[in-house]
Structure 1
Amino acid sequence: MSEIARRLNQCRRPTGDVGKIVVENMNESHYNLTTWGLEKIDVNKNCFILDIGCGGGKTVNRLAEKAESGKVYGMDYSDDCVKWSIDLNKKLIDENKVEIFQGTAESIPFKNEKFDLITAVETIYFWPNIKGCFEEIKRILKIEGTFVIINEMYRSDKFKERNEKFEEVGNMNIFSSDELELLLKDVGFGKIEIDLIEDKNWLRCMCKKNK
């Protein structure tokens, strides 16, 4: 397995000592991306929020600072990420402001219309059956709740060679903005707003559950 394939595999499901290094690097390297991705989101202090693919738990921590009277849940496919995220957010967990658990986007263990906001930072590339995952997210989102996708890569001519290499060796799917919009519309999301930073290949996609 090539070095890039090993790294992408660790991004998919970080484990062990190498995974911990990858997660710590992601916490740092994704900070500016996440700041930009969340800058249009109005996080009410009473919000109930789910961060899917929470990794090392930094985004959960940042959201919990804003939702001071609500609660933020972090979910990750990797058991090790769950442990590292718990370590980072221990104080907030003790105060019942944060909860971290293992799970997948295909089957999220919450009742219908639980969350005001659901975030997915640098994770949808790795989801199997993405339409089914979007349907599950819509199920647990409140009416007029917001779903936000924040990606460091989207399909574009400018980054075509790099992104296709990542897709090939990492068994991942990099979507164009048009592809994402069509998928979300097909599931029934509305008020879809997509912003791009073309020079960085960054994408932010916000949408609402209308009914």
Structure 2
Amino acid sequence: MSEIAKRLNQCRKPTGDLGKIIVEDMNKSHFNLTSWGLEKINIENDFLVLDIGCGGGKTVNRIAERADKGKVYGMDYSDDCVKWSIDLNINLIKENKVEIFQGTVENIPFEAEKFDLITAVETIYFWPDVKANFSEVRRVLKTGGTFAIINEMYDSEAFRDRNNEFAAIGNMNILSSEELKIVLSEVGFNDIEIDLVEEKNWLRCVCSK
């Protein structure tokens, strides 16, 4: 297996020593992307928030600073990521402001209409059935709540060769902005707004239930 394939597989489900290195790198390398992604998202201080694919827990930590009277849940299907995210957020967990758990986007273990905000940073490429998974996200989102997607890659002409290589090696589903909007609309999301940084291939999508 090539080095890039190993890295992409670890991005999908970080595990072990290499996974730890990848997660620590993502916490740093995704900081600017996440900052840009979150700047347009309304986060009230009493919000209940779910971060899907929480990885090393940095985004959970940053959102918890803004939702300081609410609670932020971080979900990842990697047991190791759950452990690392707990380590990073241990003080907030002790204060009952954060909870980290193992779970999958196919079956989010919460009742309907639970969350004010759901975030997915650098993760939807790896979701097994994005349309069905968006439906599951919508189920646990409150009416009027926000779903935010922040991606470092979207299908575009300028980055097509690179993205196609990543998609093939890592079994990733890299949607265009229009494809993403269509799927979200089909499952019932409204007010879909997509912002792009074309020279970096960044995408931010904010929509509501």
For the aligned pair, the TM-score class normalised by the smaller chain equals over 0.9
C-alpha separation between the residues in 2 aligned to 1:77 and 1:204?
23
| Deviation, structure 1 residue 184 | 0.2
C-alpha separation between the residues in 2 aligned to 1:184 and 1:42?
20
Whether 2:161 is the aligned partner of 1:152: answer no
Report matched runs for 1:138-177 at 5 Å: 138-177=138-177
Aligned to 2:200: 200
| Deviation, structure 1 residue 42 | 1.3
Whether 2:135 is the aligned partner of 1:135: answer yes
C-alpha separation between the residues in 2 aligned to 1:42 and 1:4?
36
Whether 2:197 is the aligned partner of 1:191: answer no
Aligned to 2:19: 19
C-alpha separation between the residues in 2 aligned to 1:155 and 1:182?
14
Aligned to 2:52: 52
Query: Which amino acid counterpart does residue 38 of structure 1 have in structure 2?
Result: L
Q: What's the CA shift string for 1:101-151, capped at 9, x where partnerless?
A: 001111000000000000000000000111110000000000110000000
Whether 2:4 is the aligned partner of 1:9: answer no
Whether 2:38 is the aligned partner of 1:38: answer yes
Query: Which amino acid counterpart does residue 45 of structure 1 have in structure 2?
Result: N
Whether 2:82 is the aligned partner of 1:61: answer no
C-alpha separation between the residues in 2 aligned to 1:21 and 1:136?
31
SS in 1 for 2:110: coil
| Deviation, structure 1 residue 77 | 1.0
| Deviation, structure 1 residue 188 | 0.3
Aligned to 1:82: 82
C-alpha separation between the residues in 2 aligned to 1:184 and 1:134?
7
Alignment length, in residue pairs? 209
SS in 1 for 2:161: helix
C-alpha separation between the residues in 2 aligned to 1:27 and 1:196?
21
Query: Which amino acid counterpart does residue 89 of structure 1 have in structure 2?
Result: N
Q: What's the CA shift string for 1:141-184, capped at 9, x where partnerless?
A: 00110000000000000001000000000011100000000000
> Percent same amino acid at aligned positions?
71
Aligned to 2:101: 101
Q: TM-score if structure 1 supplies the norm length?
A: 0.99
C-alpha separation between the residues in 1 aligned to 2:21 and 2:180?
30
Q: TM-score if structure 2 supplies the norm length?
A: 1.00
C-alpha separation between the residues in 1 aligned to 2:41 and 2:7?
31
| Deviation, structure 1 residue 66 | 0.5
Q: What's the CA shift string for 1:84-110, capped at 9, x where partnerless?
A: 000000000000000000011110000
SS in 1 for 2:169: helix
RMSD between superposed Cα atoms in Å = 0.4
Moved over 3 A (4+): none
C-alpha separation between the residues in 2 aligned to 1:22 and 1:199?
24
Query: Which amino acid counterpart does residue 92 of structure 1 have in structure 2?
Result: L
SS in 2 for 1:128: coil
SS in 2 for 1:199: coil
Aligned to 1:116: 116
